[in-house]
Structure 1
Amino acid sequence: MHSLFLPRVPGLKSEQKHLGLLLNGVDSEGSKTNDYFNCLCVFCFQSLDELVDKTVPESIRHRADLKLDSPRCESEVLKDLKVIAERRTKYGGVTSVWVTITAIRLIPSFEMYWKILAVNCLVLMFRICRKYTQYTPYQAEISQGRLQNLLNFQTMVCDLTGMEVANSSLLDEATAAAEAMAVCFRQTKKKKFYVDSKCHPQTIAVVQTRAEPFGIEVVVCSHSLMDFHGNDIAGVLFQYPDTDGNVEDFNNLVKRAKAGKALTVCATDLLALTLLTPPGELGVDIALGNCQRLGVPLGYGGPHAAFFAVKEHLKRAIPGRIVGVTRDSSGNEAYRLSLQAREQHIRRQKATEHCTAQVNYGMGRRLR
């Protein structure tokens, strides 16, 4: 363990220091506590020495001080690691990649070499001139590489979800769910929206927050208790698999929602869909989720690209950018942003969507 996590208490034996335990009820800040005595009593030990004698074999016991350096903050460690990385020999034509701390794992050497090779290849792909263009590819003529990658991302999402149209990413799963609720509201003109209680709590919180300015009533309950007989429901959101990891059969819920003329929204996981029945085959109208599981670092909670896919009848209501295939003036196949009339950079205040995207992460997940 790093010394950052161990209290430094004067007078402790080395074994006790390594365990990070307290002596005589006094911690490194001098405050009194009996917690560790209570823990010892549970396991029938009278002292820390007895605990060490019973659990740490004498043959492996290290009695000398570890001589650990003083604790350091993350920024200082990263700065030193970058200095070390810069000492490496750089060869022309090859991009040198500094692997971030979050990418390092204790894995067999062959797998480590393979991971480093994959990261290098991925970065080289990003730095190809045709692909390393601006964030939002408004100028299609200079963004063909990026548009091609985004189209591949859309195709992957459609293949896994069983849907017909996908956008080129949104900000994250929670805001994508809020966009789905807005789509249901605009399409049905109804102001009641069901959310299954087994959805991720952060998704429920964002949906409730976004619903307030629209005047939408969000009802959070078990999907078995949802009533669609009044035909006053704009849509229903459920998690598949749910936030506890359970996989339920939502066929009956989708049928009941269809009978009540409500749209169905499925928050799902792309990796899980490699084994589960796709939402499209369940009859779902909108499928969304997070791409973090495809290899995006946790990054203290984000950013992570979201995906958003719909059935054909909702293609003009879908939020975000859509990449399509066309022909240029010479008759060659080309890529461009499609259905732009619904976006804020065209219609401004009359736009049907006002969202951001994470196309860099979308491209990266497709390349992986």
Structure 2
Amino acid sequence: MTQVDTAKTGQGGAGRRGTGSRAGRAGIRRVVDALSRPGPWRRGLVLAASAVLLGLVLLLHAHITDRGGLGSLVETCLPWFGLVVPVLLIGALWRRSVSAVVALLLPGVVWLDLFGGLFGGGSHAASDTGLTVAEHNVAAGNPDPAGTARDLAASGADVLALVELTPEALVPYEKGLAGAYRYHTVQGTVGLWSTFPLSEVQPIDITDFGPLAATKPADVKLVSNRALRATVATGQGPLTVYVAHLGSVRLMPRGGFWTDSRDRDAQALAEAVAGERNERVVLLGDLNGTTDDRALDGLTSQLRSVQAEAGDGFGFTWPTRFPVARIDQILVRGVEPTSSWVLPATGSDHLPVAAGISW
């Protein structure tokens, strides 16, 4: 019995030693795995790098090369880069990456600095005092110019600018707006309607085709007489109004973002505005670019955007079905924007814009 007990005791001791050895090896493996596994700062490095890159694009967008119109395209889409921030944040939280979350502070702060001021401080309604101005690209292919004219006549604007007018549609616009506006002028494809007398009306030659006739895309038609200048005799003094429709832009499969016509027109228009002697100036038009676009620097350095100062949100105007950019602009100098808003859709592929201004 003693020998059997001793044998059993020996077998039990060996079993305990084996179990302890296996537990020790498992513990070592757990420690090694923990040390080799990336921590919260090392996880999601690709997400962190993407966040930093996004922040640099937002911060340094003005220094991105404009070869092939790349810089202009980036600046046109600049507000939409903000949508990437929550996408990266979701990825960072899923990966439990502290480094990615911290890196996202850069694009988040820069985007808010660029666009945060557009929200919560503006108005969507006309002011009871001052002057209401409006602009609309009525579209050459508008199927209902008469209906568009009725909608615009009911907008309450004191001064209304229309661009992309065609000879065929001019009569319906003149008839539809005659009851609301006593004065109007049409120069080429742009026109100005006003409840106040107009004087010193003249076309502004902003288009110097130069080599564009040979280099333009086949579907782009170069049209002159796309801008005018007029003096509006308001009850508070003369107001100079410019109406303009800058050249088209195209996203070309091989040529990139084609902006040559628009850029030349913008430069010529900026020179005309720079030579303007009247202190009070309003520019109404389809500029085929956002105010973030460097191509419009010549204009935005002289004039202020009513949407940026008195609007609420981005005020996107094109295309009508799903607006992605504000390319229809109201820019001012020497007057104070009191409100800015987007009018309801018409038969055009652009939305009309309006603003209240005061002296």
TM > 0.5 between the two? Answer: no
Q: TM-score, normalised by structure 2?
A: 0.29
Q: TM-score, normalised by structure 1?
A: 0.28
